[in-house]
Amino acid sequence: MPADLPLQTVTIHQYALYDGALGPLFMRLAERLRFERIFVALLTLSDTGERALQGAVGLNVQRDALERLAIPLSAETEPLARVALTGSTLTCEAGTRNDGNQAALQGLIGANAWAAVPVPYLPDFPTSPIGTLPSSAPLFPQGTSPANNSSLAHLPARGILVAARTTSISPQDVALLEIVAGQISAALLGLEAAQAARMDELEEGRIRQHLFESEKLAATGRLTASIAHEINNPLEAIKNALYLLVARSQPADPQREFLQLAQRETERVSRITRQMLGVARPSASMAPTDVNSVVQEALALVEPQLRRRQIVPHLELDTSLPPIMASADQLKQVFLNLFLNARDAMPHGGELLVQTRIAQVYDSIMLAEKYLVVRVRDDGEGIPEAIRARVFEPFFSTKGTRRGSGLGLWVCQEIIRSHGGQIYINSKVGKGTTFLVGLPLPWSAAQRPQPDRMEEAPATTRVEQP
């Protein structure tokens, strides 16, 4: 490998986890065997549900070429697919033309000698479906189908490792590549185990935090009930006394109007105490709810205010989300609070991004495929770390007494928890703030069948608001 050639790992976004697992292996392989280009392609799905190989991560390869790599699983037409299907290795000398119409593969390999070896096992990391497969290369051999093609039903390999250099590749080099392919499997298996342990740790921490927050909420509820009780006792005596005074007064008595005014105000105080209890114990009827519609309705309410502040909203909505059991009115209240907070955080304009999707394995705080996630991100001023932990506390506000009561985010948290969900905040001063709202999916959606865990990713619609 030329001394002046920099080593640079390229990773497609949806395979970012592989970069951390394979990067050091790639570096050692390049230094030991003087390989100039290395890449891995993994088994994935097309947007029609057909299996294919797609570029994932590489060393010293062009990102665009790696993203375009899409190899149908047809042993007759594609040499790399043959490696994945049969589990055999393949070596080609420099300048050898590839069979099939694979300009992307040629762009990755160039005019170098190259070898491809199967990766014997890959854990079920999430992947994103590729687009339409090249029409010039049929997916299945003629006369076969996914149902009767046994080679596809029992794949001996789930990925390929390809390495290229200007000089010829010896059998000893291929043997070392096969060893490295096994190390790739071991590295990804270790990463999978570490992720599983991390998810267990997160769930345990979430349970502990939920218990702690439940105690805080119980204490707040007791305090609220105590205050309401202490206020109501003398209030009832005042109301009774006023009733007797009004009943005994003459209609023409000039004091009667003031007594009636006092009656109305004591009734208002009584309603306020009932509202205090309602805030501590929110309740609402649940019904199947389209979260995307609720998000759009809430954004439509604040859109004129955003436009006046020169704030540009963007919607990225997963159109395949299932309905969830929720109170649409309460969820609208949550999203309105989050949108208004984002508005206040961007006094000089900016961008408000709202996304909806299903939680995936690579999410660090939501259980995969158990939650519907709504992400609200602004690029405003951000929240200092010293006060970030207090934003969900009742009566805590950074806006001042004239602009906020300090109950908005606390009420949001209680509403989401009453739905069995979670809400998190991530913020950095000068960079903006992100709120993540997780709402539990219905059992039928969370437990839907997942053959080979390689189903199509949901379609996402990006909506530009005026």
- Residues 437-452 have pLDDT tens digits of 999 988 755 555 443 4
Which long-range contacts (C-beta less than 8 Å, at least 24 apart) are formed by 188-196?
Answer: 188/18, 188/21, 188/122, 188/123, 188/125, 189/121, 189/123, 190/21, 191/17, 191/20, 191/21, 191/123, 192/123, 192/124, 192/125, 195/361
Q: pLDDT band at residue 460, thresholds of 50, 70 and 90?
A: very low
Q: Tokens 């039903």 — which residue? A: 153
CA distance 365 to 422: 10
pLDDT value at position 132?
56
**For the chain, domain boundaries:** 9-197, 219-280, 287-464
Second-level CATH architecture of 9-197: 2-Layer Sandwich (3.30)
Question: Do 340 and 378 contact (CB within 8 A), yes or no?
Answer: no
Domain 287-464, classified CATH 3.40.1260.10, yes or no: no
Q: pLDDT band at residue 116, thresholds of 50, 70 and 90?
A: very high
CA distance 266 to 271: 9
Question: Do 9 and 23 contact (CB within 8 A), yes or no?
Answer: yes
Lowest mean pLDDT among 248-257, 300-309, 348-357, 364-373: 364-373
Lowest mean pLDDT among 93-102, 220-229, 297-306: 93-102
pLDDT value at position 437?
93
Q: Which one is predicted more confidently, 168 or 277?
A: 168
Rounded alpha-carbon distances, angstroms, from residue 434 to 379, 383, 426: 9, 10, 5
- Residues 287-334 have pLDDT tens digits of 999 999 999 999 988 888 888 888 999 999 999 999 999 999 889 888
Domain 219-280, classified CATH 1.10.287, yes or no: yes
Residue ranges in 115-255 assigned as alpha helix (H): 150-153, 171-248
CA distance 256 to 262: 10
Lowest mean pLDDT among 84-93, 255-264, 363-372: 363-372
Q: Which two tokens stand for residue 307?
A: 């436009």
Q: Is the confidence at residue 154, as pLDDT, over 70?
A: no
Q: Is the confidence at residue 136, as pLDDT, over 60?
A: no
Say what percent of the chain tops pLDDT 90: 16
274: exposed, middle or buried (Cβ count in 10 Å: 0-12, 13-18, 19+): exposed
If you average pLDDT over every residue of the chain, what do you get?
76
Question: Do 74 and 138 contact (CB within 8 A), yes or no?
Answer: yes
List, as one string, the DSSP characters of 67-95: HH-EEE--TTT-HHHHHHHH---EEE-TT
287-464 and 219-280 share a CATH fold: no
pLDDT value at position 280?
56
Question: Do 116 and 157 contact (CB within 8 A), yes or no?
Answer: no
pLDDT value at position 32?
82
Q: Which two tokens stand for residue 156?
A: 């001996």
Q: pLDDT band at residue 55, thresholds of 50, 70 and 90?
A: confident
195-225 CB burial, b ≥16 within 10 A, e <16: beeebeeeeeeeeeeeeeeeeebeebeeebe
Most confident segment among 37-51, 91-105, 137-151, 439-453: 37-51
CA distance 299 to 353: 11
Our measurement of the distance from residue 458's CA atom to the centroid of its chain's CA atoms, rounded to an integer in Å, reads 12
Which long-range contacts (C-beta less than 8 Å, at least 24 apart) are formed by 424-431?
Answer: 424/365, 425/383, 425/388, 425/391, 425/392, 427/382, 427/383, 427/388, 428/382, 429/381, 429/382, 429/383, 429/384, 429/385, 430/381, 430/382, 431/379, 431/382
CA distance 124 to 134: 25
Q: Which residues contact 427 (CB under 8 A, 6 or more apart)?
A: 382, 383, 388, 433, 434
Q: Which one is predicted more confidently, 116 or 405?
A: 116
Interval 224-237 mean pLDDT: 80
